[in-house]
Structure 1
Amino acid sequence: MTSIRVGDATLSYDDEGSGPPVLLLHAGIADRRMWRRQIPALRDRHRLIAMDLRGYGESELPSAPFAHHDDVIGLLDALDIDRAALIGCSFGGAVAIDTALAHPDRVTSLALFGSALSGHDWSEASERLWVDLVGEVDPTDLDAMARAEVRFWVVGPGRRAADVDPALLTLALEMDRRALAAEAALGGVTQHELDPPAAARLPEIAVPVLVAAGALDLPDIHLLADRLAAEIPAARRLPNVPGAAHLLPLECPDPVNVAVREFLATTA
């Protein structure tokens, strides 16, 4: 682990390999450890930088207003990197998209896995699914919330916890508990959002984009992946990957690594 000062906070990251730079942006229920199956597979051809977003993992909480997409550029600046490919999962995908819109000259390509999207509204069906799967959970009980989020996102709606690798569930629970503490602390800090949000600006993205999702992820995520592929001019949608829910790169790394390697070979 390495850390560097970006603005008013110290950001932690892993930096391995050599070649065209690739920045990895974790899900909102995780931290940079979710990329531990991608770095060994890709570092022979690329410089892989997996960062903990501000407040998450081992990165410091902010003391002043900030924007995650500006932190991405701040880290690239601190590492003397002019342009990089961005790979994001879930919330990290939303940050990658925002970065490509706010700083289009700094991004060579995007690979998005189960991506969120700033300005996108979740459906009522997803809210009902939450109630069906986990019921009522006290949001101030971070341990209970972590268990609920892992059930909802990592296990997913189409299987039971017993169907999932116990080691994956243990890591996901640990990462999510820390992420919930980060979100609670970040709630007291102003975050500058992209204005207008990315949901209204997808046709502006001019770089190549790879879009994928786990077959066992939420229906809303599948629809959002379809939307990203339809509205981003140079986007390509992969078929949903069997055997994985929301943390696709961590749960099913082999097809992800193959797809990313092929994609970066022509874009990074």
Structure 2
Amino acid sequence: MDLYYQVNGEGLPIVLLHSGGTDLRDWTFLAPLLTKQYKVVTFDVRGIGKSPSPNEKANYVEDLLLLIDHLELETATLVGHSIGGQIATEFALNYPEKVKNLILIAPSLSGFNYSQAFNEYINSINQVAPDLDQMLDISLSGSLYQVVMSSPRREIMIQMHRDYFSRILTWPNFEMIWPQPPAVERLDEISMNTLFIIGEKDFQDNHHVAEHFKKVPNLRFFEIANADHMVTLTHPEELFLKIDNFMKE
């Protein structure tokens, strides 16, 4: 197993999948709360943090399978944030026997038609590469980060973002492989109990993604007030309570 990971705590296993623009430090404030009651696995996805860069197309779903098998987990609860939620969703659809519960925090969604405004935002970041300062300024000025950038978590957000962009600029290959057909067409096939959490002030596309997830049969849905996309950093206690209550239902 070449991915960098950490395991802390004892109990039912929970695997945490971090957001884009971050690394396993996405869980700096939530993971310690969970480790009091659960066995918590955090890791850096391929090409990020302390994990090696992909030499060919990155397959995050198969990487997750390798990690779970390496840790000899028969089943685990997956907690995925942003693109981590997209990975968790795809994994749950393709390896349902491995997933005890599915917990999604403002996930992205394969096959979803993102808005022109969002695509222009992403393109504006890419256009100034490899100028890290400009990439950071444009990215962190996005509406999805307005709460965290006005909070005491501002510095960790800036540092993770800088480290993230520094790493992806070194990748020899920047393509990703996702299972087909895309998850947007298969959400009604998700069989396990699912918890969906989103910040009230997350960007509009993610709220549209949330509407798609309401097709999931066994779904609990919560919106957290005064939170943006980085609810993991700004509202960890509230997240913990939602997750813990869901796990104990």
TM-score (norm. length: structure 1): 0.85
1:108-140 Cα offsets, whole Å, 9 max, x none, are 111111110111121124356x49xx8996133
Q: Which runs of structure 2 are paired with 1:42-191 in the superposition (5 Å)?
A: 42-127=34-119, 130=121, 138-152=128-142, 155-156=145-146, 161=149, 164-165=150-151, 167-186=152-171, 188=173, 190-191=175-176
Q: 1:212 deviation in Å? A: 1.2
Asked if 1 retains the 8 angstrom alpha-carbon contact of 2:148 and 2:154, the reply is no
Query: How large is the RMSD of aligned CA atoms in angstroms?
Result: 2.2
Cα distance 1:71–1:56, how it changes in 2: closer, same or farther (>3 A)? same
What is the aligned-residue identity percentage?
Answer: 27
> AA paired with 1:102?
N
Q: Is the 8 A contact 2:148 2:230 kept in 1?
A: no
Aligned partner of 1:198 in structure 2 is: 183
Structure 2 match to 1:265: 248
Number of aligned positions between the proteins = 248
Q: Which residue of 2 aligns with 1:234?
A: 218
Distance 1:118 1:183 in 2: 20
Q: Does 1:218 align with 2:203?
A: yes
**Consecutive unaligned residues in structure 1, runs of 5 or more:** none
* 1:132-165 alpha-carbon deviations (Å, 9 max, x no partner): xx89961332332122212215533xx695xx12
| Counterpart AA for 2:160 | M
**Tell me, which stretches of 5 or more residues in structure 2 are unaligned?**
none
Q: Secondary structure at the match of 1:231?
A: coil
Aligned partners of 1:150 and 1:169 also within 8 Å: no
Q: Are the equivalent residues in 2 in contact too, given 1:154–1:169 (CA < 8 A)?
A: no
TM-superposition CA deviations, 1:19-56 (whole Å, max 9, x none): 11000000011111111111221112210101110111
Provide the residue aligned with 2:228 in structure 1. Answer: 245
TM-score, length of structure 2 as denominator length: 0.91
CA distance in 2, matches of 1:259, 1:171: 24
Point out the more displaced range, 36-45 or 138-147.
138-147
Cα offset for 1:183? 3.4
